[in-house]
Amino acid sequence: MTLWVILVSFLIILSTGASIGVGLGLSSAIVLWAVQDMPLVVVVQRMFTSIDSFSFMAVPFFMLAGAFMSEGGVTRRIVDFSMALVGALAGGLALVVAVAGMFFAALSGSSAATTAAIGASMIDEMERRGYPRSFAAAVVASGGTVGIVIPPSITMVVYGSIANTSVAELFMAGFLPGIIMGVVMCLTSWVISKKNGYRGEGQFSVMRLLRTTKECFWALMMPVIILGGIYSGIFTATEAAAVAAVYGAFVGFFIYRELHLKDLWRTLLSAAYNTTMIMFVVGAANLFGWILTNAQVPHMLAQAFADLASSPLVFLMLVNVLLLFIGTLINASAAIVILTPILLPVALGLGIDPVFFGVLMVINLAIGCITPPVGLDLFVVSSIAGISIDKVTVKVLPYLVTLLISLVVFTWFPSIITCVPSMMK
């Protein structure tokens, strides 16, 4: 009874256009009140308890760091650096989007934030240079997927907190597959551009590359400081997020001098708004998952997966299919909160490394962000570009196919994900 009521009410609420957080929280409240006859104060208690964690303090700090760097002129410098690096190749601007997406992912930790930051500055520019607007939007949406794979990743922080797994190891494990995903998207853009005759932008110049590298140096140092500090044991992931926020403010105010006191309130408000959305979704998802757990749903699903999975590889392929579907419907952090307690015990029982499994879950959910019909990044970029989502979907399919091939490779060869943390031990 509980399972059917919560799922049906959740789908009905979503069909009204409500956000995923509202859908999770309200459907959970309906079950607690109408089916289980529990006081609604439990809703607030469970949501607060789920985010009352030292690890989750990293989320607002990473959001603040990304806001400072974005408002402080970092996005433009990253685009200029990427242009100097790959802009001369066929489809130069399309390649620039993928490269800039990788760099900005190392600053923002968010897929939607990466998509929005790059899209706001690149879609119009690509259209002016002769690229179809729908293609430009698809390139931006695809480039944003690495936002939750390349560290620091807010979704990995959420997984680490739920799974009681080292966030530092998750960050290390996400680095290589994130870079590979970015390179794969560059190759896809290059092939499409060669086929359609999209030319590069000028000639490659070593002097221009050196100049833009110098201008971008302070921005590029932020992920080095964050990851270097975590891997060397100088500070934890949460402390690294605080350091990143201070560093972002310092660079914006005193190095690039494009962040001013009059911008401070808007920047803080933007970071607070994004943090609140994530925390609300995580809290509501935890409440939703708690109700499912009490209804024995995780046990039933785990048993079903155990019966179907004759080997770890079969189990991982089944999980890939499930997560790709879930990733089109639910925010990545919410999906992690709901599904990790269900799937991780089965994975551990099959001898699967929890760090590898966590990164694989994140990669799946990242690809889900551009999987039709309701991938989050598709909606973000559709809004920025001012075009219908179906036009973006058609152009994003080649990128989706290549990312799915990459996912199969990561699943088949786990060492691609685990090699970096293994070397660091």
The pLDDT tens digits for 396-406 are 999 999 999 99
Alpha-carbon gap, residue 342 to 304, rounded angstroms:
11
pLDDT at 400: 92
Least confident of 140-149, 317-326, 367-376: 367-376
Residue 44 covered by a domain = no
Shared domain check, 411 and 293 = yes
Shared domain check, 124 and 32 = no
Alpha-carbon gap, residue 403 to 398, rounded angstroms:
9
Q: How sure is the predictor about 180, in pLDDT bands with cuts at 50, 70 and 90?
A: very high
Both structure tokens of 192: 């499409």
> What's the average model confidence in pLDDT over 297-320?
79
Number of domains into which the chain is organized: 2
CB 66 within 8 A of CB 248: yes
Shared domain check, 74 and 29 = no
If one compares 298 and 353, the residue with the highest pLDDT of the two is: 353
> C-alpha 89: how far from its chain's center?
28
Residue 374 pLDDT more than 70?
A: no
Nearest Cα neighbor of 237 from 164, 168, 170 is 168
Alpha-carbon gap, residue 332 to 193, rounded angstroms:
31
Nearest Cα neighbor of 349 from 290, 416, 409, 303 is 303
Alpha-carbon gap, residue 404 to 219, rounded angstroms:
31
Note down the domain range covering 67. 54-424
How far is the CA of 30 from the CAs of 7, 10, 36, in angstroms?
11, 10, 9
The pLDDT tens digits for 46-86 are 888 877 777 777 778 877 887 787 777 777 788 788 888 88
pLDDT at 425: 64
Q: How sure is the predictor about 108, in pLDDT bands with cuts at 50, 70 and 90?
A: low
The pLDDT tens digits for 38-50 are 888 888 888 888 7
pLDDT at 68: 82
Residue 95 covered by a domain = yes
Shared domain check, 212 and 249 = yes
Residue 301 pLDDT more than 90?
A: no
Both structure tokens of 77: 């410098």
Least confident of 181-190, 290-299, 390-399: 290-299
The pLDDT tens digits for 3-24 are 778 888 888 887 887 777 788 8
Residue 46 covered by a domain = no
Shared domain check, 384 and 237 = yes
* Alpha helices, H only, 232-372: 237-250, 261-294, 297-308, 312-327, 332-349, 354-368
Residue 45 covered by a domain = no
Q: How sure is the predictor about 373, in pLDDT bands with cuts at 50, 70 and 90?
A: low
Shared domain check, 154 and 220 = yes
Residue 418 pLDDT more than 80?
A: yes
Shared domain check, 185 and 79 = yes
Residue 305 pLDDT more than 80?
A: no
Mean residue pLDDT across the chain: 83
pLDDT at 87: 75
> What's the average model confidence in pLDDT over 198-215?
82
Shared domain check, 101 and 4 = no
pLDDT at 357: 96
pLDDT at 408: 94
Q: How much of the chain exceeds pLDDT 90, in percent?
A: 13
Distance spanning both ends of the chain, measured CA to CA: 48
Shared domain check, 332 and 235 = yes
If one compares 374 and 414, the residue with the highest pLDDT of the two is: 414
pLDDT at 109: 64
Q: How much of the chain exceeds pLDDT 70, in percent?
A: 95
The pLDDT tens digits for 225-246 are 877 887 777 887 788 888 888 8
Residue 152 covered by a domain = yes
Residue 48 covered by a domain = no
Least confident of 131-140, 199-208, 249-258: 199-208
Shared domain check, 129 and 20 = no
Nearest Cα neighbor of 373 from 341, 396, 357 is 396
Q: What is the pTM of this model?
A: 0.82
> For the CA atoms of the chain, what is the radius of gyration?
21
Shared domain check, 300 and 330 = yes
> What's the average model confidence in pLDDT over 180-195?
90
Shared domain check, 107 and 1 = no
Residue 220 covered by a domain = yes
Contacts of 129 (CB under 8 A, 6+ apart): 93, 201
pLDDT at 298: 65
Residue 169 covered by a domain = yes
If one compares 51 and 134, the residue with the highest pLDDT of the two is: 134
pLDDT at 274: 74
Both structure tokens of 131: 């690229």
